[in-house]
């Protein structure tokens, strides 16, 4: 019979490594090394969604890294939040760069999970890891805090099984910022954070919501060439226009939507990572597909 004290120990100590299954460790040295390589890399999905800010990732989404992320997100291995947060902190440092407004705090804005996903999992993985990353940054001397100002303004369909275009349409206009978000984000280096980037649709939508707050301008939604709504999941989704700068000097063009309203649209070539208000938006994730790392491209 299994001794009672072993059952008690399992409540306190991890049963196995989140990456490889080695017993009695949260994350073994080999898996920890895979999760935190010497230098995080810049990543770009193909195709790259309009409005996606510069993204840095700690490690490729494969093998032990993939296993650790899934263990934390789907199986409730919450002890993994600390090493995952350390990996995210490395990607955040790469995103903000050295000497880039170092006196200003780093503001980590987690991409929120859907309400249904939070209920099913019992936690919000990106938010939990963001707090761990902020703690790791502060211990190393970087002023950092989590500013969880984004929330879902409408239901979205399950992303699994959707291609990049469908994911972008599914998420378009889905996120909104809480009241007072502009005040909370003012004066800091804004970094959107998530555990994983696949198509970049979630980060692009999060960036749109943050830029809208920081510019004080409603980024319009329209139906025009290259931005048609399509039916995904529960109903029709209108594709948002992911503008990132104010109108002055942008070569604004007007289109007429299907309901007859005139709306402003900006070409993807006119979009940039920052805003003219001096609040550039960056992004950092723990993992991304191996072929999205720029170093792996021909």
CB atoms within 10 A of CB 36: 21
39 Cα distance to chain centroid? 19
* Cα separation values, 83 from 33, 129, 203, 278, Å: 10, 9, 22, 33
| pLDDT tens-digit series, residues 188-199 | 999 999 999 999
Q: What's the confidence (pLDDT) of residue 252?
A: 33
% the chain with pLDDT above 70: 68
Rounded mean pLDDT of 111-137?
89
Q: What's the confidence (pLDDT) of residue 282?
A: 97
Q: For residues 87 and 81, give the distance between their C-alpha atoms in angstroms, rounded to a whole number.
A: 10
Whether this prediction's pTM lies above 0.85 is answered by no
Q: What's the confidence (pLDDT) of residue 14?
A: 54
Rounded mean pLDDT of 174-184?
89
Tokens of 176: 């909104």
* Cα separation values, 219 from 193, 202, 248, 294, Å: 22, 17, 14, 30
> Over 80: is that where the pLDDT of 85 sits?
yes
> Over 50: is that where the pLDDT of 142 sits?
yes
CB atoms within 10 A of CB 112: 21
| pLDDT tens-digit series, residues 14-60 | 578 999 988 888 899 999 999 887 789 999 999 999 999 999 999 99
Q: For residues 38 and 10, give the distance between their C-alpha atoms in angstroms, rounded to a whole number.
A: 33
Q: What's the confidence (pLDDT) of residue 157?
A: 65
């Amino acid at each position: 019979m299994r001794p009672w004290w072993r059952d008690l120990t399992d409540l306190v100590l991890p049963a196995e490594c989140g990456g490889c299954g080695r017993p009695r460790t949260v994350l073994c040295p080999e898996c920890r090394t895979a999760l935190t390589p010497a230098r995080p890399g810049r990543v770009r999905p193909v195709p790259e969604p309009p409005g996606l800010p510069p993204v840095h990732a700690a490690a490729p989404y494969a093998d032990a890294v993939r296993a650790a992320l899934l263990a934390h997100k789907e199986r409730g291995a919450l002890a993994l939040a600390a090493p995952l947060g350390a990996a995210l902190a490395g990607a955040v440092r790469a995103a903000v760069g050295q000497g880039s407004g170092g006196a200003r705090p780093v503001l980590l804005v987690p991409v929120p999970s859907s309400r249904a996903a939070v209920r099913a999992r019992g936690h919000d993985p990106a938010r939990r890891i963001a707090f761990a990353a902020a703690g790791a940054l502060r211990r190393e001397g970087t002023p950092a805090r989590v500013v969880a100002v984004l929330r879902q303004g409408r239901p979205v369909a399950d992303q699994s099984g959707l291609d990049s275009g469908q994911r972008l349409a599914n998420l378009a206009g889905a996120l909104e910022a809480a009241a007072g978000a502009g005040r909370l984000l003012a004066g800091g280096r804004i970094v959107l954070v998530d555990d994983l980037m696949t198509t970049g649709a979630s980060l692009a939508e999060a960036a749109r919501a943050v830029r809208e707050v920081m510019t004080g301008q409603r980024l319009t939604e329209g139906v025009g060439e290259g931005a048609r709504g399509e039916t995904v999941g529960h109903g029709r989704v209108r594709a948002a226009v992911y503008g990132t700068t104010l109108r002055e000097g942008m070569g604004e063009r007007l289109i007429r939507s299907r309901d007859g309203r005139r709306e402003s649209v900006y070409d993807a070539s006119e979009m940039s990572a920052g805003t003219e208000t001096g609040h550039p938006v960056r992004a950092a994730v723990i993992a991304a597909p191996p072929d999205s790392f720029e170093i792996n491209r021909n």
